[in-house]
Amino acid sequence: MKTKENLLLNVTYTTKPGKRTEFIKTLTQLGVVEQSKQESGNIRYDYFYPLNSDDQLYLVEIWEDGEALALHTQTEHYKQLQSCKNEYLMHTQIEKFYICTTQ
């Protein structure tokens, strides 16, 4: 069996009060979600709402490797995401893990 190391990011966005729905709507309209999912090297890119907070949003990303993630950060939709953070977010926390899969 061959082992492959992928990159997992758990991103927690804390939005300004009452801005979570507007933030995800903006991301959807800008195409951030769909375009990220279609990128070469993307394995998973999904947003989730936590049950215990109205102002947080979770993003789970899995990339084939660090190179794929680096290419993602150079895309226009990634830059659009970064530019709208000031309007909607109070805080962003990113946890990065390397995960091994066998094929």
From CA 102, how far away is CA 90, in angstroms rounded?
38
pLDDT tens per residue, range 2-24: 778 999 999 999 999 999 999 99
- Domain spans of the chain? 3-102
Residues near 65 by Cβ (< 8 Å), separated by ≥ 6? Answer: 5, 6, 7, 41
Considering the domain 3-102 in this protein, what is its CATH number? 3.30.70.100
From CA 63, how far away is CA 72, in angstroms rounded?
9
Q: What mean pLDDT is predicted for residues 31-58?
A: 96
78 pLDDT band (50/70/90 cuts)?
very high
pTM over 0.85: yes
**Predicted local distance difference test score (pLDDT) of residue 4:** 84
Tell me how long the chain is: 103
